[in-house]
Amino acid sequence: MKRFFIFSALSLIGSSSFAGQPNVLFISVDDLRPQLGCYGDKLIKSPNIDRIAARGIVFEKAYTQQAVCSPSRTAIMTGLRPDVTKVWDLETHFRPAQPDCITLPQHFKANGYQCEALSKIYHKGHEDGRSWTAPHWYPFGRAVDTDLEDWTKQIVTKHDVNTLEYSSPEANDPSVKKKDKEAKGGPSFEVSPKDESDLPDGATANEAVKRLAAFKAKGQPFFLAVGFLKPHLPFVAPKKYWDLYDPNSIPLPSITHLPEGAPPYVGHTNGEIHNYPGVPKEDPIPADFAKNLRHGYYACISYMDAQVGKVLDALEKEGLADNTIIVLWGDHGWQLGDHGLWHKHTNFELATRAPLLISAPGSKTAGQKCAATVEFVDVYPTLAELCGLPIPSGLAGSSLKTYIDNPSAPSTKVAMSQYPKKSPEGAVMGYSIRNDRYRATFYRLRNGSQIVGTELYDEQNDPNETVSLAGKPEHKELLESLAKKLPPVGSDADREGAKSKKGKDKGKGKGKPAMPAAATSTDDRGARFDKLDKDKAGKLSREFYTTHQSDAAAAGERFTKWDKNKDGFLSREEYLKQGK
Catalytic residues: 69, 123
The three state secondary structure string of 330-391 is ECCCCEECHHHCEECCCCCHHHHECCEEEECCCCCCCCEEEEEEEEHHHHHHHHHHHCCCCC
Maximum Cα–Cα distance across the chain: 66
Q: What kind and span of H or E run contains 27?
A: strand 23-29
Neighbouring residues of 100: CB distance < 8 A, sequence distance ≥ 6:
6, 7, 8, 503
Alpha carbon 199 to its chain's center: 22
Main-chain phi, psi angles of 374, to 5 degrees: -130, 170
Which amino acid is present at 552?
A: A
DSSP state of 514: P
All residues at 6 or more sequence positions from 233 whose CB lies less than 8 Å from its CB, including other chains: 31, 188, 272, 273, 276
C-alpha triplet 305, 307, 308: angle, nearest 5°: 65
**Cβ-Cβ contacts under 8 Å for 61 (sequence gap 6 or more):** 353, 371, 372, 373, 374, 411, 415, 434, 436
Cβ neighbour number for residue 321 with a 10 Å cutoff: 18
Exposure on the CB side of residue 364, measured as CA atoms within 13 A: 3
Whole-angstrom Cα distance, residue 428 to residue 448? 9
Assess contact for 379 and 327: CB atoms under 8 A: yes
CA distances from 522 to 253, 340, 517, 519, 533 (A): 45, 38, 12, 9, 16
DSSP-based three-state secondary structure for 487: coil
- Amino acid type, 185: G
